[in-house]
């Protein structure tokens, strides 16, 4: 039996930006044909710790970069653009800062401004660091390399205890 807390509560753009309570937004920009996107869905996004943290700290949007319908965001209308094999959605191109690479996670602040896109497959361990880096506002005052060192140091006692138990 699965409850709603077993999965990330994905929502549409429209739902995420119209929520009455302001939260950061994490956008999973994907395409139907992207193998690494499917791998993230089956592994990283099913990790119970990630599911709980994302649901508590973000509005999560799953956004197909080849979505065909118009989206109005921040007073501007974005459309699907035909081209190449499939085409792309203008909003995907904007939040990805012109780098159409999949999967890409895009973090938006509480006012819907892009903080940073993070391209590529992210395993559970890496994604745990990334989601906390943005949700807890570390990005505002701590460079990523320093943050990762602090994060790893904080995990050392947990790792050592796990090794002793085995």
Instruction: Check pLDDT > 80 for residue 166.
Output: no
Same domain, 38 and 117: yes
Q: Taking the model in full, what pTM does it have?
A: 0.88
pLDDT tens, residue by residue, 57-87: 999 999 999 999 999 999 999 999 998 788 9
46 and 112 both lie in a single domain: yes
Q: How far are the Cα atoms of 89, 90, 153 from residue 78, in angstroms, in the given order? A: 7, 5, 43
Tens digit of each residue's pLDDT (9 = 90 or more) over 8-26: 999 999 999 999 999 999 9
Residues 91 and 34 placed together within one structural domain of the fold: yes
Do 27 and 63 form a contact (C-beta atoms < 8 A)? yes
Question: In total, how many domains does the chain have?
Answer: 2
Spatial CA neighbour of 117 closest among 130, 128, 129, 132: 130
- Residues 51, 69: one domain? yes
36 lies in the same domain as 90: yes
- 152 pLDDT tier (thresholds 50, 70, 90): confident
pLDDT of residue 77: 96
**Residues 115, 68 within the same domain:** yes
Q: Percent of the chain, pLDDT > 70? A: 90
- What range does the domain containing 156 cover? 142-166
Question: What CATH number corresponds to the domain at position 69?
Answer: 3.40.30.10
Q: What are the φ/ψ torsions at residue 123 (nearest 5 degrees)?
A: -75, 170
23 and 60 within one domain: yes
Alpha helical stretches, state H, the chain:
13-17, 35-42, 48-57, 90-95, 124-135, 144-165
Q: Does residue 86 share a domain with residue 120? A: yes
Q: What angle do CA 122, 43, 112 make, to 5 degrees?
A: 50
């Amino acid at each position: 039996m699965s409850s709603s807390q077993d999965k990330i509560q994905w929502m549409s753009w429209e739902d995420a930006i119209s929520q009455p309570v302001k939260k950061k937004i994490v956008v999973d920009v994907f395409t139907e044909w992207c193998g690494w996107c499917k791998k993230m869905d089956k592994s990283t996004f099913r990790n119970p710790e990630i599911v709980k943290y994302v649901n508590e700290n973000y509005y999560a949007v799953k956004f197909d970069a080849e979505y065909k319908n118009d989206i109005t965001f921040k007073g501007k209308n974005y459309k699907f653009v035909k081209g190449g094999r499939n085409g792309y959605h203008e909003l995907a191109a904007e939040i990805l800062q012109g780098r159409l690479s999949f999967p890409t996670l895009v973090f938006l602040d509480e006012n819907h401004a892009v903080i940073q896109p993070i391209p590529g497959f992210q395993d559970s361990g890496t994604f745990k660091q990334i989601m906390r880096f943005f949700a807890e506002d570390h990005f505002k005052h701590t460079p990523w390399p320093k943050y990762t060192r602090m994060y790893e140091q904080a995990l050392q006692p947990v790792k050592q205890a796990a090794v002793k138990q085995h």
